[in-house]
Amino acid sequence: QLQLQESGPGLVKPSETLSLTCTVSGGSISSFNYYWGWIRQPPGKGLEWIANIYYSGSTYYNPSLKSRVTISVDTSKNQFSLRLSSVTAADTAVYYCARSLGVVLTFDYWGHGTLLTVSS
């Protein structure tokens, strides 16, 4: 059974860069036609797609966040990561990593999510 697990600092100061990692187990991150993505959900609000990556390194970003986001993959560790720079309180959210069926952003496996709070 495929499992995804997010890890991150939990608390980040404003203007800093947050880094999150998603570890994939029970399957290979290098599987054909599966993409890997990050989605976030501010407290009490809806879902927002952040970025996707293919094991080859091809990246796809939400235009509204693209200037601050970097997604990367480490196939040797079966992990992919997210960096979000210049964070503000508006970036406080539960961050989920998930697997996407193809490039069309259909997320069939999700991690449990990790709460990231931006506060001084």
Partner 1 sequence: QSALTQPPSASGSPGQSVTISCTGTSSDVGGYNYVSWYQQHPGKAPKLMIYEVSKRPSGVPNRFSGSKSGNTASLTVSGLQAEDEADYYCSSYAGSNMGVFGGGTKLTVL
Binding site for partner 1 (CB under 8 A): 39, 46-49, 52, 60, 62-64, 96, 101, 103-108, 110-113
Minimum Å distance from CB 101 to partner 1? 7
Minimum Å distance from CB 112 to partner 1? 6
Q: Of the two residues 89 and 103, which places its CB atom closer to partner 1 in the complex?
A: 103
Q: Of the two residues 19 and 60, which places its CB atom closer to partner 1 in the complex?
A: 60
Q: Of the two residues 49 and 55, which places its CB atom closer to partner 1 in the complex?
A: 49
Q: Do 75 and 29 form a contact (C-beta atoms < 8 A)?
A: yes
CA nearest to 3, candidates 108, 103, 89: 108
Q: Do 95 and 8 form a contact (C-beta atoms < 8 A)?
A: yes
Edge-to-edge strand ranges of the sheet holding 18-25: 3-7, 18-25, 79-84, 69-74
